[in-house]
Amino acid sequence: MDLHAPVDEPIRFNRARRKIYVYRFHHCGLKPLSSAAWGVRVEVYDWDNLHAEFCSVYGPMGTGGLAETVSLAIKDPESGELVDRFLFAHRGYEAEMYWAMAQLFMQQGPEALPKFDKPPRDWNNEPQFFNIARRFAPRVCWPADIDIESRTAPVALVEDHR
């Protein structure tokens, strides 16, 4: 059986601040039925401390045995030790493409990104008729201060452009 993280664990890339904001679900496997053991935490990381890791694992899984993913690892700049790691995307080739687009955005800005026919999906607005788990799952709701910070440039940067 395959177990995956929820589909709506968004990541925001803020080029002006050179930070990423990760909306992550957490749970305690020792208390699977406790509502206090489940929740959301928002983590903020510096872009410069981020490293992508491609992983290919073969095992008895519902995907046919081969699972390819890209994880993002956060390393301490002084010691080089691993601070945290989280899944960025599934499906190897597609995951590499998403990582390349994230790098392109952080280096050159939104103008460098390819134009897409359809807007990105907002899982909060998807019809939940056929999937009972998504119907009762919590919606993504960023904390107010993080929501503002992740969408704006630093004040000093804004004043410099006036």
pLDDT of residue 2: 47
Distance (Å, whole) CA 50 – CA 153: 20
pLDDT of residue 128: 63
Other beta carbons within 10 angstroms of residue 113's beta carbon come to 12
Structure-model confidence comparison of residues 111 and 37, the more confident one: 111
Mean pLDDT of 56-65: 71
11-14 and 50-58 strand pairing: unpaired
Q: Provide, rounded to the nearest whole percent, the portion of the chain with pLDDT above 70.
A: 81
Distance (Å, whole) CA 97 – CA 90: 11
